[in-house]
Structure 1
Amino acid sequence: MADPDPRRRLPRMGYVTSLFARKIVAAAGDGIDASEMLSSVGIDPESAWDSGQMIPAERYYDMLERMAAQIDVTDLPMRTGASMRLDEYGALGLALKAATTLGASYARIERYARLWTSVVEYELREAKGGTLFILNRAGDRRLGMRLSNEATLASAVSIARQVSPEPVLPEIVLVLNAAPQSLAAHENWFGCPVRFGADLDAILYANETLDRSNVLGDEGISRYLISHLDVELSRISNAPDLVSRSKDAIAQALSEGTPKIAEIARGLGFSARSFQRRLSEHGMSYHALTEETRRELAEGLLRDERHSLAEIAFLTGSSEQSAFTRAFKRWMGTTPASYRKDRLLP
């Protein structure tokens, strides 16, 4: 039986570091409106770059798809990977540099990926011919996700080339996506065969490549940085649960108007100050979380014809339908009626 309360159907959202969005927008060049793209995912274009600021993965994919509608994105993931710099990853970047071998650097990516994404898990797996560095990302393989995956694979090779004193060439790169019309950009960047339509997204390295010593490998510095990263990882271990519970609480309260932070914090067992601090530790603010919840709830309700626009306005915390329409246009760039018309199945 369908859940009669649409507020219970809020999607569980994953997050990625804003660094990814900034990098891929910068790599796109003048063919897009960079400020508009960044603003669409909640990044202030004038603010300092902060890898700790997280953005919703789905909105990141939306942004990539809008870019794909404006420019040729065939080689964009490669250009993005080439632009990645370990210094931009803070303590994590230093830990990757300080690892004693390339394999140890990849093991740290596998372990600490949660520091910059909640939607990707990495895995090192022995395979014929060497070791696979595997990118696991669940969900519908929409265009935005596919572009993100390719950029992630390209970035992983960029990282390897920055820590190794010798040229790093994978044995083969595997990509789940169907192949683009031209593979030249991919094969030029990776320096090896790239096989699309594979069973997984991965990079195969010869074991002797992973066993190479890193140019800045230092065991003492590594121990210090690892202890710091372990603390950071423990701080975010409950972030998805906190965000999920916060969204549920906000969604349930919206029919009475936009809830105050103290009200939601009290229901979750926090003071307003400690709740805001917990959110800020993960690059979030209460206002942004509330707006995101309202937007997600509105999108879900608009896909269901049983709910009128007036009812959706009420359920998403708007005082009247005109206020809801203005808010929705700010979030999505279109009216609720147009959004519903475009997405309802015939």
Structure 2
Amino acid sequence: MAYVTSLFARKMVAAAGSAIDSKTTLASAGIDHDAPWDPKVMIPAVTYYDMLEAMAKEVDVTELPVHVGASMKCDEYGALGLAWKAAPTLYGSCSRIQRYARLWTGVVSYELRPDPRGTLFILHRAGERRLGLRLSNEATLASGVSLSRQVCPVPFSPTEVFLQHPAPKSKAFHVDWFGCPVTFEADLDAVLISNEAMERPNILGDEGISRYLISDLETELSEFKPVPPLVTETKGAIAQALNEGAPLMTDIARRLGLSGRSFHRRLSEHGLSFQTLTEETRRELAEGLLREEEYSLADIAFLTGFSEQSSFTRAFKRWLGQTPASYRKSYK
């Protein structure tokens, strides 16, 4: 299963401002509004897309992903962000993202491809071209441009931006912010950067620091492993325990043969939280049961850990933006 950093979800909600209920919106993605912002806390990509699509029903999201991308800072990406700043040139910065991005996200990969007008910095993201994914792609490309502007010694704009999805009613804001033509319904999602910009020295480029950071990133890459079996085992244990109500972390840890402290540490090492996995498990289980006619809504509420059907209905509407009955009806 693909995960993304909760940082993007938090920034999307912050960019929407008072137009939405930030606590409720973040809770729908399993994020505690009042907890510290930690980019290592991850959420399922599909949950993030669901959240964005629910927001789109309340506010105009045309400009939202560009605002979020513009707000991203190098330091928010940890060692990878520092490596971006310390690279000698912008091409070096992009090369590091191409190589090490999987340490940060399992959702996208990047490719540098020569082009007659310069170099294409291409974003690859698998999956249905749903609204949430499209908004996320825009934010990701905008963040790349924002980070480039932070290391470039002169004002930076790409040569052209390409997006595979259809254009909004007006793309004037996109063109103004990117400072170049923005082509929608293209064959790829990418930013085209001139050779001159790619070869220009970064203002914070430092060979010594760069070598040190690359050494650390290479070590981390050599030790990199995909999402561990612990996640699957945890979700299975949660699903089995839900008919007794919302499970406690200590109880699930015990079922897995772990202490509460060890269980929490192992989840944290992978940027995951017990709350996020519980919410994801309940939502996935509810969606599956709603497709089966033999379960009543009351039965599903019980099987997903809710003491009352009304509580289940409220939670499901928070997750998917519609009632369980409406969801079931759409599958008939």
Q: TM-score with structure 2 length normalisation? A: 0.87
Shift, 1:243, TM fit: 2.2
Shift, 1:202, TM fit: 0.7
Alpha-carbon separation, structure 1, partners of 2:261 and 2:222 = 20
The alignment-based identity, stated in percent, is: 60
Per-residue CA deviation, residues 180-235 of structure 1 (Å, 9 max, x unaligned), is 11111111111111110011111111223212211111121112222333444456
Structure 1 residues 144, 205: closer, same or farther in 2, change over 3 A? Answer: same
Kindly indicate whether residue 11 of structure 2 is the aligned counterpart of residue 23 of structure 1: yes
Structure 1 residues 130, 168: closer, same or farther in 2, change over 3 A? Answer: same
Q: Give yes or no for contact 2:19–2:59 (8 Å, CA) kept in 1.
A: yes
Shift, 1:30, TM fit: 2.7
RMSD: 2.8
Aligned residues: 328
SS, match of residue 136 in structure 1: strand
Per-residue CA deviation, residues 164-183 of structure 1 (Å, 9 max, x unaligned), is 11222212111011011111
SS, match of residue 333 in structure 1: helix
2:41 to 46, 49, 53: 53
Structure 1 residues 123, 299: closer, same or farther in 2, change over 3 A? Answer: same
> What residue ranges of structure 2 are gaps of 5+ in the alignment?
none
Q: Give yes or no for contact 1:250–1:264 (8 Å, CA) kept in 2.
A: no
Partner in structure 1 of residue 252 of structure 2: 261
Q: Which amino acid aligns with 1:66?
A: A
Partner in structure 1 of residue 159 of structure 2: 171
Partner in structure 2 of residue 326 of structure 1: 311
Q: Which amino acid aligns with 1:54?
A: M
2:125 to 137, 145, 155: 137
Alpha-carbon separation, structure 2, partners of 1:39 and 1:23 = 14
Alpha-carbon separation, structure 1, partners of 2:226 and 2:78 = 22
Alpha-carbon separation, structure 2, partners of 1:240 and 1:130 = 39
1:182 to 170, 175, 180: 170
Per-residue CA deviation, residues 297-344 of structure 1 (Å, 9 max, x unaligned), is 11122123243345535654x3xx744652453354389x94133343
1:228 to 200, 216, 231: 216
Alpha-carbon separation, structure 1, partners of 2:69 and 2:38 = 18
> What residue ranges of structure 1 are gaps of 5+ in the alignment?
1-11
Partner in structure 2 of residue 296 of structure 1: 284
Q: Which amino acid aligns with 1:265?
A: L
Partner in structure 2 of residue 213 of structure 1: 201
Alpha-carbon separation, structure 2, partners of 1:115 and 1:325 = 41
Shift, 1:93, TM fit: 1.5
Partner in structure 2 of residue 4 of structure 1: none
Per-residue CA deviation, residues 119-159 of structure 1 (Å, 9 max, x unaligned), is 11111122332221111111121111111111111111001
Alpha-carbon separation, structure 1, partners of 2:294 and 2:239 = 19
Alpha-carbon separation, structure 2, partners of 1:334 and 1:241 = 25
Q: Give yes or no for contact 1:17–1:54 (8 Å, CA) kept in 2.
A: yes
Alpha-carbon separation, structure 1, partners of 2:319 and 2:86 = 48
Partner in structure 2 of residue 119 of structure 1: 107
Q: Give yes or no for contact 2:112–2:122 (8 Å, CA) kept in 1.
A: yes
Partner in structure 2 of residue 90 of structure 1: 78
1:65 to 40, 53, 59: 53
Counterparts of residues 101-116 of structure 1 (less than 5 Å)? 101-116=89-104
Shift, 1:72, TM fit: 1.7
Q: Give yes or no for contact 1:261–1:286 (8 Å, CA) kept in 2.
A: no
Q: Which amino acid aligns with 1:307?
A: Y
Partner in structure 2 of residue 156 of structure 1: 144
Structure 1 residues 310, 80: closer, same or farther in 2, change over 3 A? Answer: closer
Counterparts of residues 267-278 of structure 1 (less than 5 Å)? 273-278=261-266
Counterparts of residues 2-13 of structure 1 (less than 5 Å)? 12=1
SS, match of residue 256 in structure 2: helix
Shift, 1:38, TM fit: 2.2
1:238 to 226, 229, 235: 226
Shift, 1:253, TM fit: 5.9
2:63 to 66, 69, 75: 75
